[in-house]
Each structure stands twice: as structure tokens, then as C-alpha cells.
Structure 1
């Protein structure tokens, strides 16, 4: 029995794979499995005999059906062209984010066993005027190509679940901070950069107003919630399979204050503040706080505060 992880070579995907291996299948609701298949454009960095790395294009329906077979008990669909990249290359983003999702859903449907299907969505599905705290039933009004494509994916996963083709779970991830490594093409990449680079002694720029509210999750909390997402009984989620995963609401100014408290005045002085309209147009259209009472009642968790997030990153990655 296999679990498929698209985007398995990436930062989040490889962490999900490691967490699944550490927990093991058949425990705490996680489907029993004897192997994990990483699907990406690059080989998976996780070295384990239980992990098979497959490279290819998920938008290729024939490739998707070769990867997803009758022995597939679960699928994590993490692969995507991110927000900044989607704005720059509409056609590529449509192919990966929409056609790829549909091809994967059809491959799952063809197994005839309704595998559990975890689809990672985004705050980018929201836009327009919003209340201070966004309710779970808030209408979607994406203000970006990426948000529109994620909204399409959400509807597809819900309808394939309604039809019994899959057992779907849509997880709208908070912005993940602090990510180690290098910046990516996400418009929200600065949310890690303004912490990560200064702690490494390098300059970074904050491209949005300091009062901008961010809905954030540490990598550890995000991975724990994704593992819980495949474990929780679908009947408990209900007919509408979309969840706003818990995060914490922090302004950019508060993030920088955490940086100074944990890292000192030196790192804080390395952060400049030059507004970038391209980033602001995307990020400032996102909500900054959510009602997550239902996900919390289902057993999902969140970080305590941003100081703890920065401290966790500093202790693990700063030498």
C-alpha cells in the first residue's frame, strides 16, 4: 500500500514524507502503508528504502495514472506553481495548478478505492472586502491567478469527494514562516526572508506596510496538521471538505519585534523597508485572521506565538 506525495522533493513535501515515515502507517488514523512515492520534477532528498522517487509532469494524464494505482491509499497533492510564478507565467500555472490537479484526481478516481486525498490550498483564494476575522463560510474572491487556480482545485476536490471518487480534504495553509533555505517564487516569501536572512547576518527587505497582518504557521505546525489531515475521519469533517488550517495572526511589525527579541538589535537593523507594489497587490489582498474553531475541534493545532516560531528556527538552523 502506497501514499503518493506530489512536490515530494520540496521543502514541505520532504518534511511530510519524513513525518509519515517517523509515525508509520496504520497508527492514529493514518492509512496503513508500506511505501511512499515522491512525485516531482527533481528526486526526493529523503533517503529511505520505503521511499520511491518518480520524476515527471503531473499534468500528463498518462503519467499520473502510472503513478497512482490500485495500491494507493492516500495522496498528498502539494505540487504547484506558487503565487509569484503564477502571475508571471499564466499558462504554466494553468497547466500545473489546474490541469495537474484534474489529472491527479482522475487517476485517483480510476483506482476505484476512493483514496484519501489531501489538497493544499491557500489564503490567496480570498480577496475583496473582508471582516477582521474571516468566518469559515466566507465567499471566495481571489485577487490573483494563483488564488483563482487554488479555488478551482478546492471545488474539484469537494465535488470528487461528493461523488465518492476520493475521500478529500482541502487544507488552506497559512503562510509558512520561517522556511529555511533560499527564497522561493511565492509572493509571501519575504515572511521568511525578513527573519531568516537577518539571523544569518544578511540584509533583507520588507516589501509591505508594517501594519500588514499575516496568518502564519511554523513548518513544524504545518506538517503536523497535514499529517492529521490524512488521519482524521472524513465523516467528522462533513460534506464540505475545506478547512482553514489554524495559524496565528501577527503584523509584520510584530514579526520584526520578535526578530529583535530573539536575535537582537543587529539582525533587526538588517531589515530595510522599501514597498514593492507587485508584492503588495497580492499579499495585502489576503486576510490576516480566521475563525478556526472547527479545525481546532477536529484536533488540528497551531503555534503559541511568533517568538516561539523564531526561537525554534534559530535553535535549529542558526549556527
Structure 2
């Protein structure tokens, strides 16, 4: 089996690669891995198959054709610039998040016109496709009406995915990821980054900045759960999904205050005292336009699973990133 991961140098892409190398997918071994990003991805250690690491920008004409020409069986499209950056740089957001996606989809269509080709395509969307006013819980039938450029770009990608799948050009599924928490590594430009920062840094003994009020509520899942979502989406019988190919995935709804209380239970008061309040009006405005709770009944019925407590999310980070120890 040949698997293409676009956005392979990112956190989720790296973790997905490691899981594929360790366990394969759907009971099958991975024979070929093609890892692509705008920065050089790292070749997987211990992989016995054929691995190709490439640097490419899908928003540049011709790049997608080169990748699709190798006819991968499964394509994970994870590449995007994050919410805060897409909002700050309108042109870059649409070039990367929309043009890059459309070029990929069209390259697959054109490849299939030459001779039959219909890969599974997993597209990472976002809960940012929804905009206020919100119900207490977002149901699977809730209107997609984003209030940010990032959310708009993802929503358009969802529509394209459904249409290209309907026409039989590929077998696509879009998964609306919750905010991934706790993200390892350094802070990025995502407006949602503070949800991870206020836990990750204190667990490592460092100070973190909280730019919003503790009453802010949001929808979360761990990096471990995110990888599980991707693998499940890649092997799911999409006849069971039907024509509505984009799913809101399971997660955990929690306020910032509840996050902090979970940190206190797991790591103690010393860690909590490392959180410094520093309000940021821009981040507050962006976050206020995001949904905070879901009823992802379709995804749950299809077998997608996430954590049920923030204590569990914190423990996943300690196990996977800190060697089981708090710094």
C-alpha cells in the first residue's frame, strides 16, 4: 500500500507517520510512504518499506500532479496555515488553504481521466466552519456559516470534497478536528494555541500566557485521538457515511477554568501558578466566533472516539511527550 501524507512535517503528520510505520493501516502493511510539506519532512526511523520525503507547495501549479502521478492508495491532506495566520494574511490563507486544496483535488481528477484511479482522500477540516450564533450543542445538521477566513477556506474545501466524491473522482471524507490539545513543541500562530500553552508550559516548569477569560469554553481532543481519527477515516466504509462526506468529530467540551482545574489535579498548584493572565482583544474576538460544544452523533455511530476528561488529555501528553514525568 502506498500512502501520501501532505503536511507531513507538522505535529499531527509526524505522529501519523510514526503510527503507520509501527502498526500499518487497516491490518495491512505500508509498503511506500511519501511525505510532503513546505519544509523538509523527516524520514521515518525503522521503516522497512520505501520512503520518499519531498518539499513542495501545493499552491504552486504542477506540484500536485507530480505527487498524484505516483497513484497513492490513500492521501492524507493535512496541509494548511493556521487560523490566526490565515486571518492576518488574507492572500496567503486563500492561496494555501483553498488553492492548494483545489489543485490537489483537480490533479486527482485529471489522473483518473487518463486511466481509472480513485484513491481514498482524508481531508482535515475544522470546527471553524461554524459561526455564531450557536446552539448550546452543535448538532450534525447545524448550518456551516464561518465567521473567519480560515473557517471559510475550510468550508469551501468541504464542499469541493463532497462534489468531487459525488462525481466519483476520489473517495473522500472530511473530518472536522476539534482543537488539538495538548500540542507538543513550541507555540504556533494559531489563535487557539493558548489552550495548549497554558498546560504544556507549566507541565515543563515554564510560564504560560492566558489571553482570554477562564469562562471561555471550547472543544478539544488529544494528538493521540487525532491520529486515531485519521486512521479510522482512511479505513471506514464510506457507504455508511453517505453523500454528506464531512463529519464533526468527538471531543471534550471544557472551559479554560476546567482545564486549569485538571492541571491542578494532575500537576499541583505549583504548575497552575505559572499561568499569567494577559488579555488579548484580537484572540478573544476570534475565539468568541467558535463553537464550544457538539453532539457528534454521526461520527460516534461510525466508530470515532476521543477522551472523556481533561485529566485524560493531560495524562496523554505526559505519557507521549514527557516520558511519563512532569518537569
In the alignment, the residues of structure 2 paired with residue 315 and residue 116 of structure 1 have an alpha-carbon distance, to the nearest angstrom, of 32
Specify the SS of the correspondent of 1:120: strand
Taking structure 2 as the reference length, what is the TM-score of the superposition? 0.93
In the alignment, the residues of structure 2 paired with residue 270 and residue 70 of structure 1 have an alpha-carbon distance, to the nearest angstrom, of 49
* Matching residue of 1:63: 63
Specify the SS of the correspondent of 2:219: strand
Specify the SS of the correspondent of 1:86: helix
* Matching residue of 1:106: 106
1:176 offset after TM fit, Å?
0.5
* Matching residue of 1:83: 83
* Matching residue of 1:96: 96
* Matching residue of 2:228: 224
1:49-198 alignment to 2 at 5 Å? Answer: 49-69=49-69, 71-112=71-112, 113-198=117-202
Can you list the C-alpha shifts for 1:100-159, whole angstroms capped at 9, x where unaligned? Answer: 000110112223212111110111111121110001111112111111111111111111
Taking structure 1 as the reference length, what is the TM-score of the superposition? 0.95
- Structure 1 unaligned residues grouped into runs of 5+: none
Specify the SS of the correspondent of 1:71: coil
Counterpart contact for 2:140–2:297, Cα < 8 Å: no
Counterpart contact for 1:127–1:140, Cα < 8 Å: yes
1:19 to 2:16 alignment: no
1:22 offset after TM fit, Å?
2.1
- Runs of 4+ with >2 A deviation: 45-51
1:3-42 alignment to 2 at 5 Å? Answer: 3-25=3-25, 27=27, 33-42=30-39
The CA RMSD measured in Å over matched residues stands at: 1.4
How many corresponding residue pairs?
Answer: 316
Specify the SS of the correspondent of 1:234: coil
Q: Which 10-residue stretch deviates more, 216-225 or 13-22? A: 13-22
- Structure 2 unaligned residues grouped into runs of 5+: none
* Matching residue of 1:287: 291
In the alignment, the residues of structure 2 paired with residue 183 and residue 228 of structure 1 have an alpha-carbon distance, to the nearest angstrom, of 28
In the alignment, the residues of structure 1 paired with residue 257 and residue 50 of structure 2 have an alpha-carbon distance, to the nearest angstrom, of 44
